[in-house]
Amino acid sequence: MPQARHVRPGAYASPAASPAQARRGMGQPRATGPRERNLAVVRTVNHEAGERIVPAVPASAGAMIFDRKGRLLILKPTYKSGWTIPGGEMEADGETPWQACRREVREECGLDVRAGTLACVDFRTRRPGRPGGIRFLFDCGALDDAALAAVTLQPAEISEYKLVPLRKALELLSGPVRRRVARASRAAVPVYLEDGRPAAGVRPAGAARR
């Protein structure tokens, strides 16, 4: 089974929201059920040269958060079975992947992560009933016991949390998230995946180029 790479100490601050964050609803409960704010649609863009079809690709961001013993923070959502990691869809107002990661972590478990490293980009193919899209995964390092004691769950979406060894976490996480975390946690550099698996013809970061 994959072993966790060396985790860096994570930065943590108290979860007081700024006025801008308050306007975004950070830390406020949202409606229950699957998130459908950013489903894949197709729109027409009008340019001087004519019109062209531009796909709107859904995107989300997640966080790997560890304790000082190397255990991974996992969450049990209320709106689907299984376990997952903190994270969710990017807002369609220009929010960046890292901003989405921080917001979702704050909303779901009350932690304010201020440092992270891009660990993985995973493209999920669109299928009937599933919009697909891009998944960003950030390694937010290891938080100390005092920081993790501040975990406050969003009851509308999260019913339980655990800190578990990576090997056990991979047994509990749902398939797509499990593959993403497994690949990212054993890599020393960010990885690119398609449906949770390495893409043919894409070399790892740092590999020699011709």
Domains of the chain in start order, with CATH, are 12-27+38-198 (3.90.79.10)
DSSP secondary structure code for residue 6 in this structure:
P
| Cβ-contact 117, 79 below 8 angstroms | no
pLDDT for 183 beyond 60: yes
Binning pLDDT at 50, 70 and 90, where does residue 14 land? Answer: very low
Residue 54 has a pLDDT of 74
Question: pLDDT for 139-153, tens place per residue?
Answer: 999 999 999 999 999
Cα torsion angle, 108, 114, 119, 120, sign: positive
Q: Are 5 and 185 in contact (CB under 8 A)?
A: yes
- Angstrom distance (rounded) from CA 101 to CA 89: 9
pLDDT band of residue 33 (cuts 50, 70, 90) is: very low
Kindly state the tokens that stand for 188: 């020393």
User: What is the DSSP code (8-state) at residue 110?
Assistant: -
Average pLDDT over residues 84-104: 95
- CA torsion sign for 89, 92, 93, 95 is positive
Model pLDDT, residue 205: 75
Per-residue pLDDT of 186-207, as tens digits, reads 999 999 999 999 999 998 776 6
Please state the rounded mean pLDDT for residues 50-56.
74
Gap between the Cα atoms of 126 and 128, Å rounded: 7
Contact assessment for residue 43 and residue 54, using Cβ atoms and an 8 Å cutoff: yes
Q: Is 204 or 173 the better-scoring residue by pLDDT?
A: 173
| Percent of the chain at pLDDT exceeding 90 | 60
> CA 107 to CA 87: how far, in whole Å?
9
68-92: pLDDT as tens digits: 999 999 999 999 889 999 999 999 8
Looking at per-residue pLDDT, the higher value among 1 and 190 belongs to 190
Residue 201 identity: G
Q: Rounded to 5 degrees, what angle do the CA atoms 60, 143, 85 make?
A: 30
Backbone dihedral angles phi then psi of residue 39, each to the nearest 5 degrees: -65, 155
**In angstroms, rounded to a whole number, what is the distance separating the alpha carbons of residues 7 and 139?**
8
- Residue 29, judged by CB atoms within 10 A of its CB (0-12, 13-18, 19+), counts as exposed
Q: CA-CA distance, 100 to 138, in Å (whole number)?
A: 11
